[in-house]
Amino acid sequence: MSEIPGRKFALLPMLGHTKGKRSPVTCALKCDNACAGDVCNTSSNSYFRDIASTTLSRRAALGFGAAGALAVVLGSALNSSETAVADAGTGLSPAATTGYGAGASKLQFTAIPSIGADVDAVTVPAGFTWQPVIRWGDPIFNDAPAFDLANQTAAAQERQFGYNNDYSDILEIPGSKGRRAVLFANHEYTNENIMFPATMPAAEMRAIGAAAHGLSVVELERTNKSTPWSYVKGARLNRRYLNSTRYELTGPVAGSALVKTTADPAGRWINGTLGNCSGGTTPWGTILSGEENFNGYFVAPGTSASDKRYGLTNKPTARQWELDDRRFNANNPGYENETNRFGWIVEVDPFDPASTPKKHSSLGRFKHEGANVIVAKSGNVVAYMGDDERFDYLYKFVSKAKYVEGDRKHNMTLLSEGDLYVAKFSGDAPAAEIDGTGTVPADGSFDGKGEWLPLVVGGKSMVAGMTVEEVLVYTRLAADKVGPTKMDRCEDVQPSLHSGKVYVACTNNSDRGKPGKEGATEVNPRNENRDGHIVEITETGDQTSRKFTWNLLMVCGDPAQGDVTYFSGFPAGQVSPISCPDNLAFDSVGNLWISTDGAPSGIGRADGLFKVTVDGAERGRVEQFLAMPRDAETCGPIVHDDEGHVFVSVQHPGEEGTFAAPRSYFPDYVPAGATPKPGQVRAPRPSVIQVFRIAA
Ligand code: FEO
Ligand code: CA
Ligand code: CA
């Protein structure tokens, strides 16, 4: 196959398709212009308005002490170090009954002011500073060359930290007394326009770009708990997961005809992972990562119901990997099913560099943002998952087998078999009170009831006319048939290990209420939802329940700009403005932390990380902790408040610039004309950064 004449790189001609939220570059490269195309969900399923545990502490289970030291996990010591902590009387973890809420946090800070979208700096609270943990191009292995922006190669990139890190987590290495940890980061996509000089041959760009995708695991070290982390080049656990890395497909779809290809006639072994967005860390110390906008990497016939539902089209892809590898064109004989091998939840063991990563078919196939696991009172584990597309759905998985404290080998099988559900919400306000502006109904809250509609239960399909394999491969089509609620782009879905409540970040939906599209509902109460909202779910009974109640924690925006907002009754004049919630995390005392993606084109402010009090008198209080450099999105928050450390992934800094004319110099900030220090460059580099107190 040859390159398309006159088409050096497909990116720039595609720009300009953006609709409101994101920069054109993000739309083209990250989401394959998902918002520019038609809405994938054209199903006419239920119109919301017409229908009238014991929570195992994950921190504890991982080995965090009650005071909340870094996760102490695993390796060969796993079996003894998993300490499941629960209070059978209250159903809450011990920390929840002692010092819950904002005032109890050991990370006290004064909120930063809202920062303009064009500021090319990381802004942190007074008394704090920041520095990178690891940057794009940092050499991970002993044989890896130093990053050389002017002379990049695919071979070097395969041995260096990848691009556009999104989900991240840091788990302490057992026995290291807090001085050694392992960092996981995934690499969602690449920004070729700012990574490579325009003179670089396209084939080289493709090869390096491909090597900058995937996942990374790298060891960290520090002198003591109050000093910042550094990554360790050549450490034993360091690993890059590349397009050639082999993943084992688990669950009912393994071996199915729906996933067989010429290269994998068994339908069990998949090379690579794509579009990794958010993720989650399991109670047994593995990492989950969501394959999200995988469709953007494939040429496909684009004519079948499933191709249309998943946004697969018969046009050259932005990166044109199809020129180098036949499997990226599903029109090629033998590769018709290749697209079915992506769109899964991936599980990796960061403590075993020789382990085979998995893709879990039991958790369904869609544009997975991520997955977050909690152990239910029954012992089953429950994973909550969002499908990040306008008008798509919220899901949960309930494992068949039960969590066994201390048996990591067993626990690592829990996501391979179980039941899959999709959420249906109903509100209690009269339809006339949901007017599409976000104005709170007369009863004082957006709230109501909900149910988890079964898709697969007990190994059987609950969807008429579809087999279990079909339900799990074409999960969107299956869900359409059972009438779930169309949501405003569910991003992270995170259960609180303090309360068991589940938080859903609905980032935005530019199309809600537009002609021919579903209008506002109580759970998605704003038309042309620019700023997003957070849903709070309370399961009825334990986490495996099929029924729940819900309310909105907040309806985002900038009150000072006149936006209609709602912060659970907290005075709107006293909150940090917030737009486009994306990733969620909790600190050790149960405060919710929210990172944003898209605020610049919403409220015109830099994306950031925000602490939200969810309980007590200050419920709904939003305090901004940091702001991103120019064009960057905040991802992968990790809050080790007990140590005064906060980490975030800084994704796509300066993405609206070019290689020749950067818009950001994060994180090295080499001054113009200065000679860069070793390892530094005068160009934007996606990085994981750490924020910590300035030493007294
Ligand atoms: Fe990759 Fe849903 O954000
Ligand atoms: Ca209500
Ligand atoms: Ca995301």
- How long is the chain? 696
Residue 290 Cα to ligand 1 midpoint, Å, equals 9
**Helical (H) or strand (E) element with 522:** none
Q: pLDDT-derived band of residue 39, with 50, 70 and 90 as boundaries?
A: confident
What per-residue confidence (pLDDT) applies to 695? 85
- Amino acid (1-letter code) at residue 47: Y
Any atom of ligand 1 within 6 Å of the Cβ of 631: no
Which pLDDT score, from 0 to 100, does residue 20 have? Answer: 42
pLDDT at 71: 30
How many Å lie between the centroid of ligand 3 and the Cα of residue 543? 24
Residues with CB under 5 A from ligand 2 (ion): 428-429, 441, 443, 445, 447
Contact partners, residue 525, CB within 8 Å, separation at least 6:
434, 436, 438, 446, 533, 552, 555
The C-alpha atoms of residue 559 and residue 330 are separated, in whole angstroms, by 48
Whole-number Å distance between alpha carbons of 261 and 331? 12
Tell me, letter by letter, the H, E, C secondary structure of 606-657: CCEEEEECCCCCCCCCEEEEEECCCCCEEEEEEEEHHHCEEEEEEECCCCCC
Assign 102 a pLDDT band (cuts: 50, 70, 90): low
Is residue 299 lining ligand 1, measured as CB closer than 6 Å?
no
For ligand 1, whether the C-beta of 392 sits within 6 Å is: no
Amino acid identity of 299?
Answer: V
Contact predicate 581/506, CB 8 Å: yes
Residue owning tokens 């054109």:
24
Question: Element (H or E) spanning 302, and its range?
Answer: none
Q: Does the structure show a pLDDT above 90 at 103? A: no
Residue 94 has pLDDT above 80, yes or no: no
Mean pLDDT across the chain: 90
CA–CA separation, 284 and 693 (whole Å): 31
Q: Give the pLDDT band of residue 682 (cuts 50, 70, 90).
A: very high
Tell me: pLDDT of 207 over 70. yes
Higher pLDDT, 649 or 46: 649
Indicate whether residue 277 lines ligand 1 (CB < 6 A). Answer: yes
264 lines ligand 1 (CB under 6 A): no
Q: So what's the pLDDT on residue 22?
A: 65
In this structure, are residues 421 and 539 in contact, taking their beta carbons and an 8 Å threshold? no
Strand 246-250 and strand 358-360: the pairing is parallel
Residue 342 has pLDDT above 90, yes or no: yes
264-266-272-277 Cα dihedral, nearest 10 degrees: 140
602 — pLDDT class (breaks 50, 70, 90):
confident
Is the predicted pLDDT of residue 639 greater than 70, yes or no? yes
388 in ligand 1 pocket by Cβ < 6 Å? yes
Per-residue pLDDT for 182 more than 60?
yes
| pLDDT tens, residue by residue, 450-487 | 999 999 999 999 999 999 999 999 999 999 999 999 99
Each residue of 290-312: pLDDT tens digit? 999 999 999 999 999 999 999 99
Higher pLDDT, 44 or 494: 494
Average pLDDT of the segment spanning 437-461: 98
How far, in Å, is the centroid of ligand 1 from the Cα of 288? 15
Nearest ligand 1 atom to the CA of 367 is 2
Inter-residue contact 626 to 122 (CB < 8 Å) = yes
Give the residues across from 549 on adjacent strands: 449, 538
Q: Is residue 12 pLDDT above 90, yes or no?
A: no
Query: Considering only 63-72, 332-341, 427-436, 550-559, which range has the smallest mean pLDDT?
Result: 63-72
529, 488 contact by CB (below 8 A): yes
Beta bridge partners of 281: 287
